[in-house]
Amino acid sequence: MKNSMIGSITDFAVLNNGIRMPWLGLGVYQAEDGPEVENAVKYALEVGYRSIDTASVYGNEIGVGKAIRESGIPREEIFVTTKVWNEDQRQKRTLAAFEESLERLGLDYVDLYLVHWPVKGFYKETWKEMEKILASGGAKAIGVSNFLVNDLKDILADCKVVPAVNQMECHPYLLQPELLAFCKANDIRMEAWSPLMQGNIVSVPLLKVLATKYKKTPAQISLRWNLQHGIVTIPKSVTPSRIKQNSEIFDFEISSHDMLALDALDTGKRFGPDPANFSF
Ligand code: NDP
């Protein structure tokens, strides 16, 4: 059975400014710059991924850009995301940080530029700089990451441009239904980071049961669950077999009954930092 909405790796979510963002991307946090990240990105592009998620703080923008250029795939067919780091926000150098990211990537634009974390006292000023980056054409879309409902309300109160995306930790232990509903109501696309619980999905009993039922793996069940919630997903792997496996999520559909059972796993458990209380 195929989901009529999301049935192919080439399918995309349409962001609030009309930009098309692939439902699936490769995350590269903790992929080392150089051969490790280059090989992962090249292989992902070979097996059909068309979206890569990096950040200045990951230290691998150079390798990501090199792999994209060497892939031979036209630039406009690949969706590239990077992010402004917290220290750059504090030093009020978002525009400079953006130019440095472009330089490292060796690209003349990115598809999506994100505010990596809501640094208190700074993120509203950062957002004004993000709006300038969008206006200049340096980024096709701008968004945020790790913004909770109150942070979003704060931005929405006086922004010119509504964030196109909010990238949050999201997996069956952490759905955050109120945040998801708020984003949907305001046409902000949710995107899931750590969709595989940083590898811990393999020990979730229900994911194992459903993996057997659907003849898939726990990772594929978790990623497909993201998609069926309308959430863009960016699993990380530097292992070719897993990169491919994580892309094979477009040929089956989780029943609504099983979606509800997965939703019921939500205990608010985080594997990464809590956006309400971070100190970096
Ligand atoms: P993930 O949940 O994607 O898990 C990655 C881990 O799972 C790696 O150890 C990987 O191992 C392993 N893995 C990958 N595929 C499988 C599989 N099929 N079965 C079992 N294990 C698997 O974690 P991340 O934290 O990396 O999140 C994904 C991406 O989200 C990041 O890479 C980054 O781009 C983004 N992110 C954004 C954040 C933000 O603040 N905005 C914060 C954190 C992440 P291996 O690589 O060895 O195959």
Tell which residue, 222, 226, 193, has the closest CA to residue 206.
Answer: 222
Nearest CA to ligand 1 atom 14: 237
Residues of the chain where predicted confidence (pLDDT) is lower than 50 = 1-4
Q: Report pLDDT for 37.
A: 98
Residues 208, 210, 216, CA angle at the centre, nearest 5°?
85
How many angstroms separate the CA atoms of 247 and 225, rounded? Answer: 13
Residue nearest to atom 25 of ligand 1 (CA): 194
8 A C-beta contact, residue 27 and residue 236: yes
The position carrying tokens 């902000």 is 188
134-166 tens-digit pLDDT: 999 999 999 999 999 999 999 999 999 999 999
Residue 94 Cα to ligand 1 middle (Å): 26
CA gap 115, 96 in Å, rounded: 14
135 CA distance to ligand 1 centroid (A)?
32
Q: What is the pLDDT of residue 2?
A: 43
Which of 89, 147, 193 to probe ligand 1 with, by most ligand atoms within 8 A of CB?
A: 193
The phi, psi pair for 25, rounded to 5°, reads: -140, 165
What does 52-93 look like in DSSP terms, one character per residue? EE--GGGT-HHHHHHHHHHT-S-GGGSEEEEEE-HHHHHTT-
Question: Cα(244) to centroid of ligand 1, in Å?
Answer: 14
Look up 109 and say whether it is catalytic.
Answer: no
Residues lining ligand 1, Cβ inside 6 A: 27-29, 53, 116, 145-146, 167, 193-199, 202, 217, 219, 234-239, 242, 245-246, 272
Where do the domains of the chain lie, and which CATH numbers do they carry?
3-263 (3.20.20.100)
